[in-house]
Amino acid sequence: MKYLLLLLSTVAFAQQSQSVDFKSVTGQIRVNAKEKSVSGSVNYIVEVLQPIDTIKIDAQNMTFTNVELNQAQLLFENNEKQLLLIFPFQKGKYEISFNYLAQPKQALYFVGSEEKDNLQIWTQGQGRYTSNWFPSFDDVNEKLVFGLEVVVDEKYQVVSNGVLDSKITSEGLNHWKYQMKKPMSSYLLMLSIGKFDKHIEKSKSGIPLEYYIEPKDTANYETTYRYSTAMFNFLEKAIGVKYPWEVYRQIPVRDFLYAGMENTTATLFSSRYVVDAIGFEDRSYTNVNAHELAHQWFGDLITAQSGKDHWLQEGFATYYALLAERELFGDDYFYYKLYESAQQIKYASRTDSIPVLNAKASSLSFYQKGAWALFVLNESLGDKKFKKAICNYLKKYRYQTVETDDFFNEIKKIADFDTADFSKVWLESTTFNTSQANDLLLSNKMIKTLFEVEKLKKNPLVDKEKFFAEVLQSNVYFEVKIAVVNQLRNEKFKAKKALLQLALATNNVQVRQAVASSLSKIPEEFRKAYETLLNDESYQTQELALYYLWNNFPEKRVAYLEASKDWLGFNDYNIKTLWLSLALSTQEYDIDKSVLITELINYSSINYEATTRQNALEKLLAFKLLNDQVLENLVNATTHHMWQFSKFGRDNIRLLLKNPEMVVSFQRILPNLNEKEQFQLNRLLLELKP
């Protein structure tokens, strides 16, 4: 039934779009952090193309007052999903205005609090959710010019789409007025409120590039935004079409739902990518950065008409991000990433029966197979013709929505290329064209060596040991050396010891990390060599090495804990939470355990981001360090807006409830919980009943 309803909704919108053209909208809004609500006034300018008796605006669970047409009261209906404006509209231009109030269940998120001076408010309208916080349009095909004025306490900064037209201070409040100059889809409307430092650079073409960061993270500005301006300049040149907007901003926000989101002129991204020089080795923002930037052309400037053509956004953004990284890191990086995604696609195709050109395709298909399709197309056409087709495509359909055939038509104009056959192989088939992919990959010398390594997977170590040693001592790209280390996982230690020593001697952080993760059981004779991993400039390597050394050598646990007691790790405290759990589990470690328990439990509380909380809760659960506060923090996780974290909470409570004693413990804390927490826990307790 839901598919029928969706079809009817799409048809209804299509009928409206044939009769009504929404030109622009301006809104003045206030966000109430205490009530978690948004309210304001909205003004639409519309042109009626042919007579119609009802105009619809998507609005989820909102209330409306002062609804007017050309400043006269207008009859309306509110069905909780749409605002229906009822009037015998004739051809011509109209002004529609109203006030609204909403308490969004999604799309507008409140993180932290004013009391703790860490409040952040941000939006995520991915696909069709903006209508939860701003009366707008769920259908991406309705594009219009947005202007937003946001009134907030003067201590906060506000970022929205477009140019900052003005910022006026009055009675302790700032009025931030942002204005787009060109039309865009509603799902790209954004809002970010918080305390940030702003750094401004300029692209070679003169576009202002604004990079935001929280004051506490100022020391990590350079490593977080490394290569940002260089990638902007590269993509403008590589795409061949000037950046289509007046400004570009990037803002990291806490507890963001995804890695990043390409709102027009302003990318929001997860604060987990705010890293220092050591964190950069394992958690660089570079790829996400380039991907979201590429979307400013592919997704924002031109938008896929429907889910069926979603690859026109994600496949293109993935491919151009890879091209930007190729410029930075070289051909070996580029070809290895293509090889890696090819392996993923081939493996997934065993069970994935949905092709790229299908709204239900997987993310792997839209992103990675879509990118592979573009790589094949680029290689087939040559750089010059490929770039020309892209330029023509972007210029012809700018500020519009597109289908795959629109792109193919531009290819046909500049090259004698069979787009129909290409589509069948790369976009309509569920299999992966391994033969063609391998032919393209093998143009890279490093890939040839990697293939030689991979062919030896089933061979006895004695037959490949000499070759592996040569690889590890060569200057071949580090991923090939990692492939060698990975083949050693199941070999007996004495047989692989010399090769592991060679791997450590590469002094490559990633190769050494592969050694760290491949050796959960560490022989005494390799202990000192393995201990050197504790000094690597990689938080991920340090975490692995600390845990495996502590686990393998009980007599040295105190020494390891003393050496690492001041380590924190990433901004999610991955090493610190591990250290606390290890220290608490080391009986001979002479330290006040109650202080450590309090600290670890605090990391699992609402004072920290979801990733930190989950790190802490995982350790508390694994080492059975459970008390009422831990259980309350676990229940609170089930109410979090990040589905991964809420699922983590639910799944672990279900496991704990298998123990009758834990059932009693959860029932005991029930009165201490707030309404949302009680609701979630009661649901889980009810699952116990037959």
Query: What pTM did the predictor assign?
Result: 0.95
- The per-residue pLDDT for range 347-390, each reduced to its tens digit, is 999 999 999 999 999 999 999 999 999 999 999 999 999 999 99
Q: Cα–Cα distance between 240 and 237 in angstroms, integer? A: 5
Q: What is the DSSP string of 244-280?
A: SSS-EEEEEETT-SSSEE--TTEEEEEGGG---TTGG
* 299 CB neighbour count, 10 Å cutoff: 23
pLDDT, one tens digit per residue, over 634-651 is 999 999 999 999 999 999
186 by Cβ neighbours in 10 Å (0-12 / 13-18 / 19+) ranks as buried
pLDDT of 6 strictly over 70: no
Q: What are the residue ranges spanned by the domains of the chain? A: 1-104+118-193, 196-278, 302-431, 444-552
HSE on the CB side for 552, CA within 13 Å? 19
CB atoms within 10 A of CB 111: 19
Is the Cβ–Cβ distance between 565 and 542 less than 8 Å? no
Phi, psi of 192, rounded to the nearest 5 degrees: -140, 125
List, in sequence order, every beta strand (DSSP E) within 103-161.
Answer: 108-111, 120-123, 143-153, 157-160
Q: In the predicted model, what is the mean pLDDT of residues 103-131? A: 94
Tokens of 166: 């003005």
Q: Which fold has domain 196-278?
A: Zincin-like (3.30.2010)
Span 302-431: which CATH code?
A: 1.10.390.10
User: Distance between CA 475 and CA 8 in Å, rounded?
Assistant: 60
Tell me how far apart the alpha carbons of residues 142 and 58 are, in angstroms, rounded to a whole number: 11
Q: 356-374 b/e with 16+ CB inside 10 Å = b?
A: bbbeebeebbbbbbbbbbb
Is a pLDDT exceeding 50 seen at residue 5? no
Query: Does residue 15 carry a pLDDT above 70?
Result: no
List pLDDT tens digits, range 483-537: 999 999 999 999 999 999 999 999 999 999 999 999 999 999 999 999 999 999 9
Work out the burial of residue 661: count CB atoms within 10 Å of its CB; fewer than 13 is exposed, 13-18 middle, 19 or more buried.
exposed
pLDDT at 12 over 70: no
Structure tokens at 489: 């996982």
CB within 8 A of 399, min separation 6: which ones? 143, 182, 183, 184, 301, 302
- pLDDT of 3: 31
Q: Could you read off the pLDDT of 590-640 as tens digits, one per residue?
A: 999 999 999 999 999 999 999 999 999 999 999 899 999 999 999 999 999
CATH class, domain 1-104+118-193, is mainly beta
Q: What is the pLDDT of residue 321?
A: 98
Spatial contact of 228 and 282, defined as CB atoms under 8 Å apart: no
| Per-residue tokens: 379 | 């290689």
pLDDT of residue 122: 98
Sheet holding 197-202, edge to edge: 197-202, 208-213, 248-253, 266-270, 260-261
What kind and span of H or E run contains 5?
helix 2-19
Per-residue model confidence (pLDDT) at position 9: 41
Where do we find the tokens 């699952």? 687
pLDDT per residue as tens digits for the range 49-98: 999 999 999 999 999 999 999 999 999 999 999 999 999 999 999 999 99
Residue 2: pLDDT band with limits 50, 70, 90: very low
Residue 186: predicted pLDDT: 97
Cα 152 to Cα 180, 193, 367: the distances in Å are: 20, 8, 38
Strand partners, 191: 160
pLDDT band per the 50, 70, 90 thresholds, residue 464: very high
d(CA 645, CA 640): 7
Provide the pLDDT confidence category of residue 126 given band limits of 50, 70 and 90: confident
Q: Between these two residues, 9 and 585, which has the higher pLDDT value?
A: 585
pLDDT class of 17 with cuts at 50, 70, 90? confident
Which 3 state secondary structure label does DSSP give 356?
A: coil
Give residue-wise pLDDT tens across range 421-438.
999 999 999 999 999 999
Q: Tokens in use for 189?
A: 């409307």
The tokens for 356 are 């790229």
Whether the CB-CB separation of 266 and 317 falls below 8 Å is answered with no
H/E segment holding residue 677:
helix 675-686
The answer to whether residues 648 and 610 touch, using CB atoms and an 8 Å cutoff, is: no
The per-residue pLDDT for range 565-590, each reduced to its tens digit, is 999 999 999 999 999 999 999 999 99
The first and second tokens of residue 149, run together, are: 């004025």
Residue 147 burial class via C-beta count within 10 angstroms: exposed 0-12, middle 13-18, buried 19 and up = buried
